[in-house]
Structure 1
Amino acid sequence: MSCMSQCAKYFLCFFNFIFFIAGGAALTVGIWLFADRTSFTNLIAKLDQSDLLTKTDADVIKMMAYILIIAGALTFIISFLGYCGAMFESRCLLCVYGILILVVLILECVVVGLAFGLKGDVEKGTQDFLKDTIAKYYATTSDKIDTVTVAWDGIMSKLHCCGIENYRDFSENKNWTTMVGKMVPDACCIKENDVLKDSTCPINPTSFNTYQTGCYKAIMTAIEENAAIVIGVAATLVFVEVLVIILALYLACCYWRPQHVYRCVEPSGKE
């Protein structure tokens, strides 16, 4: 086998081995969360001295488990096929692997196309989903702070925004307005030196003491401002997927007839 074929083989082995391990880890965590979330959350709480996961709503944990299981299983299976196909020089496995990566690439293009083609519906659906997370899962008291609450507080503080469209989105969380007695969380309030500019902000939000921009708009603005990075990451992902498809099919060609392997890499007439 030529140097080029050897390089392609070991690149695919190394590439798929990394994703094989990552996929296996994600699948293991997902199954653990689904089967016994209490033991997992208690372990994490002991490791990072935090009880965020233990306070997180069971529905959120279940959703995380489903995502990890599906993503982990797909990554595990596809990378396993790629690794074994390259390592054991199996043209069948390499062809299946290349076709699966091609299907993934096509699905990604379809999703992006639908997102642009149905932009209005996608935006509304995304906003409704985000509003639902605030209405159902945003913590009402400090002793119930969970991952959803921490995530939203971090986004609002970092991007200087409040709610999805505006601070009135928190009124949809009835537990928040009735039990806490506040209109908005502290993360929505303008601060100076990490101290609230106006101490009455959580109870009486105004345009002078509260971030007026909705977080959905703030996130979209941040993405647009970093469009070069987003495009670069997307282009790199597509390039890697196309490269892997080409290498897999190239090796499959070389392994098609083992006794004539050199015909794939040397000029005709040399055997």
Structure 2
Amino acid sequence: MAEAEEKNNSCGTICLKYLLFVFNLLFWLAGGAVMAVGIWTLVDKSDYISLLSSSTYMIAAFILIGAGAVVMFTGILGCCATIREQRALLLVFCVLLLIIFLLEITAGILAYVYYQECFPLCYQLNAELRADLKERMVENYQQPGQEHITRAIDRLQQDLKCCGSNSSADWRDGAWIQTPGADRRLVPDSCCKTPTDHCGLRDHPSNIYKVEGGCISKLEEFILQHLLILGSVGLGIAFIQIVGMIFTCCLYRSLKEEIY
């Protein structure tokens, strides 16, 4: 009995348990971070998303939330399996880690292949996105029943420091600019570097944001930067998963040897 207890408390097993517990804690936190990014995208950036006709970014946010929830659940399962030293739970945990890892790798490969094959089509879709955003900005801004679009455009131009879809000249065709309500403004006040009432009367570069490519280029840059960050985080999590699978297998084998 004493000998069995000594085996169960062997230094190797204890070290593996602590290492695996730390891994699970980090994995759980990573899942929480991924879920938080998805929720933040839906809540804080919902104005940006409302300007896009495509639902891709909304779907991507929901995928992030779902993936984060799965990772958090897996992390909790791993903690329970480690603390209770249940080999069956450890096996389930290891299998879940392997499945998540394979899904991450598959998604990355498919995304790269899809991007390479559809580059000409993507360029065409990008042109359509530009035209669509311009249409929303010039036709819906400050129009009755379009308050959410107006708020989204003002926030977009201030946050990303830009003016107009492709350039500030887009506003010359704006439905609101051509009405008495614009009060001789050339651009919305949200285009100004220092927004004040009627500051849009002057569209000189010293007064408004004149960015090459307009707000659509800044929005694309914003999205690409966040995709790069998410990609880097994904690679980091994938590396952590490999370490976790190694620790899990070692602990599983150690417990098996102690039973026999």
TM-score bin, normalised by smaller chain: 0.5 to 0.7
- Residues of 1 paired with 2:174 and 2:181: CA distance? 11
Structure 2 residue runs of 5 or longer lacking an equivalent are 1-11, 83-89
After superposition, the Cα gap between the structure-2 partners of 1:230 and 1:57, relative to the gap in structure 1 and judged at 3 Å, is: closer
- Residues of 2 paired with 1:179 and 1:124: CA distance? 37
1:246 aligns with 2:223: no
Written as runs of structure 1 = structure 2, the 5 A alignment for 1:140-151 is 140=142, 144=147, 148-151=152-155
In the other structure, the counterpart of 1:97 is 97
- Offset at 1:104? 1.7
In the other structure, the counterpart of 1:185 is 188
In the other structure, the counterpart of 1:237 is 233
- Residues of 2 paired with 1:234 and 1:24: CA distance? 12
- Residues of 1 paired with 2:143 and 2:218: CA distance? 26
- Residues of 2 paired with 1:235 and 1:144: CA distance? 35
- Residues of 2 paired with 1:199 and 1:28: CA distance? 34
Residue 111 of structure 1 aligns to a residue in which SS? Answer: helix
Contact persistence 2:52–2:133 (CA under 8 A)? no
- Offset at 1:78? 2.7
Give TM-score, length-normalised by structure 2.
0.59
- Offset at 1:200? 3.6
In the other structure, the counterpart of 2:158 is 154
- Residues of 1 paired with 2:234 and 2:34: CA distance? 20
- Offset at 1:246? 1.1
Q: Describe the superposition over 1:182-228 as per-residue Cα deviations: whole angstroms up to 9, x where unpaired.
A: 55323445x5x667998643xxx57897626223445677999xx9x
- Offset at 1:77? 1.6
- Residues of 2 paired with 1:57 and 1:218: CA distance? 16
Give TM-score, length-normalised by structure 1.
0.57
In the other structure, the counterpart of 1:259 is 256
Structure 1 residue runs of 5 or longer lacking an equivalent are 34-40, 45-51, 263-270
**Structure 1: which amino acid aligns with 2:187?**
V
After superposition, the Cα gap between the structure-2 partners of 1:102 and 1:180, relative to the gap in structure 1 and judged at 3 Å, is: farther
After superposition, the Cα gap between the structure-2 partners of 1:230 and 1:63, relative to the gap in structure 1 and judged at 3 Å, is: closer
Q: Describe the superposition over 1:124-159 as per-residue Cα deviations: whole angstroms up to 9, x where unpaired.
A: 4245335534533764179936652243222452xx
Contact persistence 2:160–2:218 (CA under 8 A)? no
Which residue among 69, 79, 82 is the counterpart of 1:76? 69
- Residues of 1 paired with 2:201 and 2:13: CA distance? 73
Written as runs of structure 1 = structure 2, the 5 A alignment for 1:48-197 is 68-89=61-82, 90-115=90-115, 118-129=118-129, 131-133=131-133, 135-136=135-136, 139-140=141-142, 144=147, 148-157=152-161, 161-170=162-171, 174=175, 177=178, 180-181=181-182, 184-188=187-191
Contact persistence 1:86–1:94 (CA under 8 A)? no
Contact persistence 2:164–2:170 (CA under 8 A)? yes
After superposition, the Cα gap between the structure-2 partners of 1:59 and 1:120, relative to the gap in structure 1 and judged at 3 Å, is: closer
User: If you compute each CA radius of gyration, which structure gives the higher value, 1 or 2?
Assistant: 2
Contact persistence 1:166–1:212 (CA under 8 A)? yes
- Residues of 2 paired with 1:29 and 1:168: CA distance? 32
- Residues of 2 paired with 1:23 and 1:126: CA distance? 27
- Residues of 1 paired with 2:250 and 2:111: CA distance? 34
Number of positions where the alignment pairs a residue of Structure 1 with one of Structure 2: 231
**Structure 2: which amino acid aligns with 1:148?**
A
1:10 aligns with 2:21: yes
- Residues of 2 paired with 1:8 and 1:139: CA distance? 56
- Offset at 1:84? 0.6
In the other structure, the counterpart of 1:266 is none
How big is the alpha-carbon RMSD for the aligned residues of Structure 1 and Structure 2?
5.2
Q: Describe the superposition over 1:58-93 as per-residue Cα deviations: whole angstroms up to 9, x where unpaired.
A: 999x99876554321221023212331343142222
- Residues of 2 paired with 1:244 and 1:156: CA distance? 34
